[in-house]
Homo-oligomer: A and B are copies of this chain.
Amino acid sequence: MDSNSSRDKRTSLQPMRAAGRQRVEELLEAASDLMAERGYEATTMAEIAASAGAKVGSLYRFFPNKEAVADALVQRHIAVLEDEYAALAKRATTLSPDALADVLIELLVTLHPRVKSLSALMEARTDRMEIRDRARGHAIAGIAAALRVCAPGLDEALAKDIAAVVLNVMKVLRSMLAKDAPTTSGAPDELRQMHRLYLTDRLQPFRRTPDGITDAEP
């Protein structure tokens, strides 16, 4: 339908020079920090620009509106997650369900510096939810794939259901560890414990063994 790949929302140019690309980086970095800190709504376009050492005009040169900034951030976060899940799927062959549980649940925490504003952006309510839905879909597919590497024979649909649970546990752990966390100190460990119990229970029947695959017994 579209002759070129640009969004039909008004004008917004791709940066053509090194300086422009650099600016875009700075703007997105600033936006990510601010939105992670205050949330999507509470972050203003002027703040983003100022925090990147620029003026609003520059911001609007590269992004047609505020939502486009959020979308660009989500896109980048998706890319990071894709990479990490791919890497994890490779490692998963050598991991026991227990070990996989631990790696999975810490993933969002260790990845935090690279996807700082992800949770704030996933919570934000905007007109087009499509990108956010895709992000969630990618995350679940990635986790499900890792699970099935570790536990071959695990039903595809079931793997996605389990992945949805795992993703939510990851989110809760992240929120518990946030700096203004209003939770008791032992809670994160309890959460980890619950997650381990659950994944062990779910993956044990399909556990990969050195010489093959043990069959399930109900």
Contact = CB atoms under 8 A, between A and B. Distances in A.
Determine how many copies of this chain the complex contains: 2
Given A133-B182, A157-B184, A194 B190 contact: no
A4 to B, nearest CB: 30
Contacts of A125: 38-39, 41-42
A182 B139 CA distance: 13
A94 interface: no
Interface of A is mostly: helix
A187 B172 contact: no
Nearest to A191: B165
A148 interface: no
Contact of A194 (B140, B157, B160, B194): B194
Nearest to A183: B164
Interface string A170-186: 00100010000011111
Pick the most buried of A133, A160, A189: most chain B CB atoms within 10 A of its CB. Answer: A160
A183 B160 CA distance: 9
Interface string A125-161: 1000000010010001000000000000000011011
Nearest to A144: B184
Contacts of A190: 161-162, 164-165, 202
Interface of A: 38-39, 41-42, 123, 125, 133, 136, 140, 157-158, 160-162, 164-165, 168-169, 172, 176, 182-187, 189-191, 193-195, 197-198, 201-202
